[in-house]
Structures are given as C-alpha cells and as structure tokens.
C-alpha cells in the first residue's frame, strides 16, 4: 500500500515504493529487449544500447510523441516532472504501452532549493537516490570531457607564452596565437557555486599556467551537454565535439577543440554516456533518463536518442521540456524537433492554481519560506487574471501547429470554482483540459489526463517551425521575442550588436539554430514581471557560439550560466543512515 503524500515526504514515498520495484531484467522483458541491448548498472538501473535497438527496430513504426511543458512557473516549479510521471502512469492504467523520457537532474538544484527532478507524491521516477546523485555518471563524463578541453586550451596558452616557434615545433606544436581576452570556454562543476562565476587562474610562476580571467558554469550549461541532447549517434557526436569553439586568435579566427587536438580524447569520455539510462515510475512503467535540465541557460531537453528509442519500443513516448512554453517548449519546437526530424502529436501545458494566482496578483512565493497564507484561500479573480499567462502559452503551442492539452496539476487545497475558471478559459482558447490528481493518487488520479492526451494524439496537426534556417539571426531573435515572449522588440548591447553583425556575415553560422538564454520566471527578461507583461523590449547583452551543438546562443538580461546557492539549501537536510547506507532527505 503506497504512503499518503499528504503525510509523507517524497523521499519516504520513493523509499517505500522501491521495495516493490521491478528489476532491470523485468523491465527489459516488458520492453521486448534482446539480452545484449540491456546494460545493467546494478539491479534497478541500466543503460540501453541504442545502436542495437534502433538497428533491430528500424522498420517498426514510431509511437505517439507527447511533450510536457508548462506555464511560466513560480520559483517553486509547476510539477512538470510530476505530471510527466503521472501521465505515464495514467496511460499505463489505460493499458497503453508507454515510456517516459526525462532529463537527468543536476546536483546544483538537488543540493540547493528546487530539489531533484524525479516528480513527487505518487508520481515519481525511482530509485530516487541514484537518480538524484549521479546516476550512471553521464554528468561526470560531461564535466571531464569539458574540463579536458580547458586543460588543453590553458596548457597550450602557457606553452605558447613560454616557447618560441622553433621550440614549439620541436614539441610538434604549432602556434595558435590565442587571444587571452577572447576565450569562449570556461570550466564547469555540477553545483550552484556563485563564488566561481568570475575567477583568476594561473597565479604563481611561469610553470603554473597562463594567468588570465576565467569562469565556471554549471555542468548542464556545457556545450557538451547540448551535444549529448541533439547527437544522433557516436559519429555525429565525434564530429560535433571537434567543432567546439574554445577561443579566438589575435586575427579573430576561431580556435576549436580540433585545433587543440583534444576532440578525440573529449569524445572518449562520452562514449558510454551516449546510451540512455533506464529507470521506472513508482507503478513500474519504464522511464528513460538522458541529458540535462536548465532550459533557461541550456537546451534543457531529454535526448534525441532517448526519444527515438522510446518511440520504437512503445506506443507512447512522454518527453519533457524544461520550464515554461517560452523557454523549454520553444527549444523543443525549433531546435530538438528540427535536429531529430520527429514531429510531436500533442503538447501538455501544465498549470497549478497556485502559479495562476501568482500571475494574477498574489504575493510571489519565496523558496525556503512558508507559502503565503493567501494561496490557501479561494480567489477566483486571481486565477482568472493569471490565466492570461496560460492562454499566452496555449497560443504559442498552437503557432507550432501542435494540439495543446492543459493539465491542471491539482492540489488538495484547490477549490471547484478555481478549477472551473481554468477549464472555461483554457477551452475558450482552444485547448483540451484535464484535471489530474496524480500527485495524490498516482495513475488512478491521472485517468482524465491520459484520456485527453489519447484524444489529442488521434487528431491531425500541422506542425511547423517558427523560422527557417535561412532566416537571418537578428530576424530569428526578433521572431522569438515578439511571437513567443510577447516583447515589443529587441535591443542589443554594443558587444552583442558587434557579434550579431559578424555572425550574420559568417556563412558557417547560417544553418545554426537559435538557443535563447533568458529567465524562466517571466515571459520577459525580468523575473519580477508576472502574467503577460506589456510594453517592454528584450535586451540582448551577449551572443555565444556553440558550433558543435549547432546553436547560436543570445543571452538576455542579467541571467548567469552559474546559479547561486541559497542561504537554506537542501543539503542541510540530506544525510545517510550509517547502519544501512540509505540516503534520506533527497526530494
């Protein structure tokens, strides 16, 4: 008997459910896998040999493709992962063959405020501890591959500073003439470490490295993570890693990992990481976990490989995009689907009553502090006003030609009149609506949700991209700002303006996608602006180049690629039972 989520923490529910887990061998049998296609990492976690599976099933038709996204979240999140797991469980209750494909959580949020990304209540991905604390080592591989690139770059800069051209030639090196103020790469670590945003390296003597300003980003913001998300196979990954631009020389020419002759070694770290990870829901449906989160500063999608495998193995693949429609879904739509060639049948827009109240005028919740009392009281007016944000996102999904389903992610404090208001306004905007109580009741609470998605997947759609790749970069940024965010226009810092001009003249960048970096807490660049802000301009302060991933990355507002750790982080409550080795407190 499952624990009551109104009385027990998520980690307690997960721990109890883990006593009834299927082994990876049972999951493999359920999926119809061949023995050599399953690569166990213990009894309850495995990797899947995607090459063998896709080769064996290449002629099998794909299943239905469903993306889970959300309205603009509060700082506490909207429960997309919970809804994705709930939908997988609900489809299971309808006897549908279904696989979830979600992202691996970062150690930064897990040890900070937001927690893991396993879902919650009776709609979770388990086992929780390995899921949250490193899993099979994919993020560690990304850190090693990325930081090896920085080792190669900084050591080359040191050697070029200390040796003549003749001395370099004797060491089988050519001078790359790297400009120390035009280094694009930094270091990465999988924690929120604001003290590492701006650092100086190479202090000491000439044997201690090249002295210069540097920085750390969080691991999942690495271009290597983006490549993992979009790569089609090992050959594609190898080619992409060789195109990564780490710096520019004094003639403003790009210096790549291939120029440093480190691209092969970087790829070597990533070979095993290319295989998706296999886990399960609390109710025993298979879940693939691959690639990473943070759609505000990265692509924030589960991998193309995981989706392709899931679509061959099941009738439904439920994948998930990070944060709201404006951030995660836009990248799913215009980047991931473009690279994969896959067309979704349906997009779920998750909404909570509390977030709608936040967009409608209620006090903004503060992570780590109790929820304001106003959220426990009925206020249909706030909900109706907040639905303007929801309707904005419904309209964006419709611009992609995809059938939208609004999932009201229900809490036991929501009232009937508040729920009726969301139904009425969502249906008026042209979306199906489903109330789902998966958090409290698991798959049994997600039947209405599953039925709505099944119906939406049966209807034809007219999928189309927002822009074509021959659209100039400035026009693309303008389209995203106006059509997805609701901005009046775009402005550029002098540095960004200069980069835009250079990039639009560079034929090598013509076919690259546009991966925006923007706060997830508002449709605008300002996280304090809720609802649907009017009369504002999107400020672009910088534009980065991810040639390996195939992205140009405009950076809007003051957002940082290295989040900070708050004053009351989750690690204060995480501990280990020294008798059993069980980890407690992860949520």
User: What three-state secondary structure class fits 213?
Assistant: strand
The residues facing 217 across adjacent strands are 188
User: Which sign, positive or negative, has the C-alpha torsion 307, 313, 315, 318?
Assistant: negative
Q: How far apart are the C-alpha atoms of 222 and 145, rounded to whole Å? A: 10
* CB of 259 closer than 8 Å to CB of 176: yes
Instruction: Please give the DSSP secondary-structure letter assigned to residue 573.
Output: G
Query: Which residue spans within 321-368 are E strands per DSSP?
Result: 346-351
Q: Classify the phi-psi angles of 323: left when phi > 0, otherwise alpha if psi is within -120 to 50, otherwise beta.
A: left
Q: How far apart are the C-alpha atoms of 447 and 420, rounded to whole Å? A: 18
Q: Which helix (H) or strand (E) holds 162?
A: helix 138-162
* CB of 305 closer than 8 Å to CB of 313: no
Instruction: Please identify every residue annotated as catalytic.
Output: 80, 82, 103, 114, 295, 323, 411, 439
Instruction: Please give the DSSP secondary-structure letter assigned to residue 153.
Output: H
CA dist list (Å): 512 to 153, 184, 415, 476: 24, 18, 47, 11
Structure tokens at 27: 């999951």
Q: How far apart are the C-alpha atoms of 349 and 404, rounded to whole Å? A: 7
Radius of gyration from C-alpha coordinates of the chain:
24
User: Which sign, positive or negative, has the C-alpha torsion 467, 294, 527, 547?
Assistant: negative
Instruction: Please give the DSSP secondary-structure letter assigned to residue 265.
Output: H
């Amino acid at each position: 008997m499952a624990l009551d989520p109104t009385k027990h923490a998520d980690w307690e529910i997960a721990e109890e459910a883990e006593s009834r887990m299927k082994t990876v061998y049972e999951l493999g049998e359920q999926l119809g896998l061949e023995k050599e296609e399953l690569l166990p990492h213990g009894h309850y976690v495995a990797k899947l040999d995607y090459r063998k599976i896709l080769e064996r099933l290449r002629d099998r038709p794909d299943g239905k493709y469903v993306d889970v996204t959300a309205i603009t979240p509060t700082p506490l999140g909207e429960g997309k992962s919970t809804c994705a797991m709930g939908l997988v469980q609900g489809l299971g209750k309808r006897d549908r063959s279904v696989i979830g494909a979600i992202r691996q959580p970062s150690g930064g949020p897990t040890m900070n405020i937001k927690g893991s990304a396993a879902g919650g209540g009776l709609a979770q991905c388990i086992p929780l501890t390995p899921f949250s604390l490193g899993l099979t080592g994919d993020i560690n591989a990304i850190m090693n591959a990325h930081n090896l690139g920085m080792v190669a770059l900084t050591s080359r800069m040191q050697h070029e500073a200390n040796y003549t051209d003749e001395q370099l030639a004797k060491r089988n090196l050519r001078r790359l003439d790297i400009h120390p103020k035009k280094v694009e790469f930094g270091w990465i670590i999988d924690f929120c470490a604001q003290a590492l945003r701006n650092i100086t390296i190479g202090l000491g003597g000439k044997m201690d490295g090249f002295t210069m300003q540097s920085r750390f980003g969080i691991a999942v913001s690495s271009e290597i993570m983006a490549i993992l998300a979009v790569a089609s196979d090992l050959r594609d990954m190898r080619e992409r890693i060789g195109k990564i631009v780490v710096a520019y020389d004094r003639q403003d020419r790009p210096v790549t990992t291939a120029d440093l002759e480190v691209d092969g070694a970087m790829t070597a770290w990533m070979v095993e990481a290319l295989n998706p990870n296999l886990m399960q829901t609390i109710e025993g449906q298979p879940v693939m976990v691959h690639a990473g989160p943070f759609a505000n500063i990265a692509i924030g999608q589960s991998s193309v490989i995981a989706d392709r495998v899931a679509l061959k193995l099941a009738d439904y693949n439920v994948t998930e995009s990070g944060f709201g429609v404006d951030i995660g879904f836009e990248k799913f739509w215009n980047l991931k689907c473009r690279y994969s060639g896959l067309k979704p049948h349906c997009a779920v827009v998750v909404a909570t009553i509390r977030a709608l109240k936040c967009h409608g005028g209620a006090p903004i919740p503060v992570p780590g502090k109790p929820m304001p009392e106003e959220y426990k009281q009925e206020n249909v007016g706030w909900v109706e006003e907040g639905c303007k944000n929801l309707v904005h996102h419904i309209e964006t999904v419709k611009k992609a030609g995809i059938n939208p389903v609004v999932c009201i992610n229900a809490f036991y404090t929501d009232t009937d009149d508040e729920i009726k208001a969301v139904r009425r306004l969502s249906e008026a905007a042209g979306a199906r609506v489903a109330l789902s109580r998966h958090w409290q009741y698991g798959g049994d609470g997600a039947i209405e949700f599953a039925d709505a998605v099944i119906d939406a997947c049966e209807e034809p759609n007219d999928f189309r991209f927002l822009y074509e790749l021959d659209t100039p970069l400035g026009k693309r940024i303008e389209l995203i700002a106006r059509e997805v965010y609701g901005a009046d226009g775009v402005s550029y810092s002098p540095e960004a303006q200069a980069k835009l001009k250079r990039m639009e003249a560079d034929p090598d960048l013509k076919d690259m996608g546009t991966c925006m970096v923007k706060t997830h807490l508002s449709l605008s660049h300002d996280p304090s602006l809720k609802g649907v802000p009017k009369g504002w301009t999107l400020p672009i302060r910088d534009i980065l180049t991810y040639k390996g991933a195939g992205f140009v990355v405009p950076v809007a507002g003051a957002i940082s690629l290295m989040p900070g750790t708050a004053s009351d982080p989750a690690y204060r409550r995480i501990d280990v039972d020294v008798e059993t080795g069980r980890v407690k407190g992860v949520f």
